[in-house]
């Protein structure tokens, strides 16, 4: 694809952008935008005024944007596209709905809102003649795009997914590292190769090593992103807790095969996450996305294997991938596509088929607050994320993860229980809740 031709449109006016949230994602977009002539960020919004000042200073923009703490305030400059990057589901949902109501495109970096009410926001945008899209530079949009590329080429996608955010690095002395954590004499060296093709057993043994080191293999953010992808593509989780295997990138085509072929999967057309295992001198896959496709023509894929493509040993499947995501550096693709082409880079018509929910891993008492204990990974100690088939919200149905966090429990919850609506003191006045009800009324009518 030649992007110069795609986005040329010399007659189009300057694209005016409002950026809400100048954390890591927003700050990288702010910096990158000064290199793109068609894009002008006219206003930025963040609750932290010092963070806004620092971001503008570090970006060295020639025409600094107006800085505000409330994007909905009167008297602000007009804009064409709003980039929502707060990461706060309630704020993101409310701001996105407000911008759509103004007739502005919305580029959603806050996947936390997208997994709960993304489909209804997309529907509202269509009704207003504007675009709602997941943002390039983050895995959901990139994976939706990669999947659509493969399907456009007539490839059968058997599985699709992403790597977890941080790699597991094996050193020469058998020390397994995850971030700054080290597990000496791990035994992973003996598990470097899967020689018998039994991936269920082999990944279970690897994951036992990781569990002994107390390193995580599943994070809320991974499940959230894959839930957004499921709703945008029709791919489904093979199981609620996913497989989340520890794999070397060259192993993906072998491991993500049918169980009858020694692989992990009970179904096809699935989504999953893997934890990248590599040596310290090997390239990272952290943040990358992939598809596993069926190899229909042996001659074609034998040729591609010879050119270095990852083809399974039994030649039935191959792995195609994008090995990285670049945060706000890549987000201008979504801005340009929305403003110039009136097209999303993410899902064209997401449907609320999958919900991110939570299962208790310990007993909880009535009155406990479900505080997020790990802000970076959005984790609540004692809760594990799962992906469940969505159903109309009612007292006994699973409550979305991001509607339960920060709220009080109104009953005791036993270990192993999936949280339901009647267990949590939901803020029914919240915009997130109101949009969720609109989504229910539309989808289950």
pLDDT band of residue 295 (cuts 50, 70, 90) is very high
161 lies in the same domain as 310:
yes
Phi–psi pair at 227, nearest 5 degrees: -65, -40
Task: Give per-residue pLDDT as tens, 383-395.
Answer: 999 999 999 999 9
Rg (CA), the chain: 22
Number of domains in the chain: 3
How far is Cα 135 from Cα 141, in angstroms, rounded to an integer? 6
374 lies in the same domain as 337:
no
Q: Cα dihedral sign for 133, 137, 143, 145?
A: positive
128 lies in the same domain as 15:
yes
3-state secondary structure (DSSP) of residue 385: strand
On whether residue 252 sits in a domain, the answer given is yes
153 lies in the same domain as 222:
yes
| Contact (CB, 8 A) for 71 and 45 | yes
| pLDDT of the residue at 86 | 96
pLDDT band of residue 13 (cuts 50, 70, 90) is confident
| pLDDT of the residue at 319 | 97
Q: How far is CA 109 from CA 106, 116, 282, 301, in A?
A: 9, 14, 30, 36
221 lies in the same domain as 129:
no
On whether residue 173 sits in a domain, the answer given is yes
Task: Give per-residue pLDDT as tens, 102-149.
Answer: 999 999 999 999 999 999 999 999 999 999 999 999 999 999 999 999
| pLDDT of the residue at 252 | 98
How far is Cα 114 from Cα 93, in angstroms, rounded to an integer? 8
Considering only CA atoms, which of 390, 401, 309 is closest in space to residue 354? Answer: 390
pLDDT at 287 over 90: no
Alpha helices (H) along 190-340: 199-213, 220-233, 252-255, 298-306, 332-336
Average pLDDT, the chain: 95
Which of 341, 365, 388 terminates a domain? The answer is 341
On whether residue 335 sits in a domain, the answer given is yes
Structure tokens at 257: 């095969």
DSSP 426: -
User: 239 CB contacts (<8 Å, ≥6 apart)?
Assistant: 266
Please measure the distance between the N-terminal and C-terminal CA atoms of the chain and give it in whole angstroms. Answer: 40
User: 209 CB contacts (<8 Å, ≥6 apart)?
Assistant: 176, 183, 186, 187, 188, 191, 246
On whether residue 255 sits in a domain, the answer given is yes
179 lies in the same domain as 206:
yes
Residues in the chain: 445
3-state secondary structure (DSSP) of residue 154: coil
How far is Cα 219 from Cα 384, in angstroms, rounded to an integer? 8
247 lies in the same domain as 336:
no
288 lies in the same domain as 162:
yes
On whether residue 347 sits in a domain, the answer given is no
Percent of the chain with pLDDT over 90: 93
Average pLDDT over residues 64-84: 95
On whether residue 179 sits in a domain, the answer given is yes
- Give the domain range for residue 410: 354-443
How far is Cα 403 from Cα 399, in angstroms, rounded to an integer? 7
193 lies in the same domain as 267:
yes
CATH number at residue 399: 3.90.1210.10
pLDDT at 10 over 80: no
| pLDDT of the residue at 382 | 96
Which of 309, 341, 373 terminates a domain? The answer is 341
| pLDDT of the residue at 63 | 83
DSSP 423: G
Q: For residue 432, is it left (φ>0), alpha (ψ between -120 and 50) or beta? A: alpha
321 lies in the same domain as 375:
no
Task: Give per-residue pLDDT as tens, 145-178.
Answer: 999 999 999 999 999 999 998 999 999 999 999 9
pLDDT band of residue 210 (cuts 50, 70, 90) is very high
How far is Cα 301 from Cα 298, in angstroms, rounded to an integer? 5
| pLDDT of the residue at 431 | 96
On whether residue 11 sits in a domain, the answer given is yes
Percent of the chain with pLDDT over 70: 100
How far is Cα 134 from Cα 99, in angstroms, rounded to an integer? 15
pLDDT at 247 over 90: yes
| Contact (CB, 8 A) for 56 and 67 | yes
pLDDT band of residue 294 (cuts 50, 70, 90) is very high
Specify the residue for token string 């409310």.
Answer: 94
| Contact (CB, 8 A) for 32 and 332 | yes
CATH number at residue 131: 3.40.50.720
How far is Cα 272 from Cα 279, in angstroms, rounded to an integer? 23
Task: Give per-residue pLDDT as tens, 54-73.
Answer: 999 999 888 889 999 999 99
Q: pTM of this prediction?
A: 0.96
270 lies in the same domain as 193:
yes
| pLDDT of the residue at 353 | 97
Average pLDDT over residues 194-200: 95
* β-sheet bridge partners, residue 67: 44
113 lies in the same domain as 233:
no
Task: Give per-residue pLDDT as tens, 335-379.
Answer: 999 999 999 999 999 999 999 999 999 999 999 999 999 888 889
3-state secondary structure (DSSP) of residue 73: coil
User: 398 CB contacts (<8 Å, ≥6 apart)?
Assistant: 355, 357, 388, 391, 418, 419, 420, 421
3-state secondary structure (DSSP) of residue 317: strand
Structure tokens at 197: 């093709």
On whether residue 245 sits in a domain, the answer given is yes
């Amino acid at each position: 694809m030649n992007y110069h031709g795609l986005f040329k449109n010399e007659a189009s006016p300057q694209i005016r952008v409002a950026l809400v949230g100048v954390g890591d994602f927003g700050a990288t977009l702010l910096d990158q935008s000064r290199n793109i002539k068609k894009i002008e960020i006219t206003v930025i919004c963040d609750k932290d005024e010092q963070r806004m000042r620092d971001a503008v200073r570090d970006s060295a923009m020639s025409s600094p944007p107006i800085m505000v703490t409330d994007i909905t305030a009167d008297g602000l400059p007009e804009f064409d596209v709003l980039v929502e990057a707060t990461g706060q589901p309630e704020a993101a949902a409310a701001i996105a709905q407000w911008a759509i109501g103004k007739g502005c495109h919305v580029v959603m970096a806050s996947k936390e809102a997208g997994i709960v009410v993304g489909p209804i926001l997309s529907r509202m945008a269509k009704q207003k003649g504007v675009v709602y899209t997941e943002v390039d530079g983050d895995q959901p949009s990139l994976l939706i795009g990669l999947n659509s590329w493969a399907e456009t080429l007539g490839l059968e996608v058997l599985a699709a997914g992403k790597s977890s955010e941080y790699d597991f690095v094996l050193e020469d002395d058998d020390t397994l590292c995850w971030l700054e954590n080290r597990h000496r004499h791990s035994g992973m060296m003996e598990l470097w190769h899967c020689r018998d093709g039994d991936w269920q057993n082999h990944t279970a043994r690897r994951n036992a090593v990781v569990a002994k080191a107390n390193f995580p293999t599943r994070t809320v953010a991974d499940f959230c992103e894959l839930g957004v992808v499921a709703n945008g593509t029709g791919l489904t989780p093979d199981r609620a807790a996913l497989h989340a295997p520890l794999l070397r990138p060259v192993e993906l085509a072998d491991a993500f095969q049918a169980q009858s072929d020694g692989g992990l999967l009970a179904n096809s057309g699935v989504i999953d996450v893997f934890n990248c295992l590599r040596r310290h001198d090997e390239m990272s896959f952290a943040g990358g996305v992939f598809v596993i496709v069926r190899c229909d023509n042996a001659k074609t894929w034998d040729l591609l294997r010879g050119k270095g493509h990852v083809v399974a040993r039994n030649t039935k499947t191959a792995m195609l991938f994008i090995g990285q995501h670049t945060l706000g550096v890549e987000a201008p693709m979504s801005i340009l596509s929305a403003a110039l082409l009136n097209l999303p880079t993410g899902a064209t018509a997401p449907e609320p088929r999958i919900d991110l929910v939570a299962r208790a891993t310990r007993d909880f008492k009535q009155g406990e607050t479900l505080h997020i204990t790990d802000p970076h990974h959005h984790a609540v100690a004692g809760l594990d994320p799962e992906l469940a088939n969505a159903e109309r919200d009612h007292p006994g149905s699973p409550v979305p993860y991001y509607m339960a966090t920060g709220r009080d429990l109104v009953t005791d919850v036993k270990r192993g229980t999936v949280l339901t609506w009647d267990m949590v003191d939901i803020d029914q006045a919240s915009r997130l809740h109101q949009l969720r009800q609109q989504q229910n009324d539309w989808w289950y009518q």
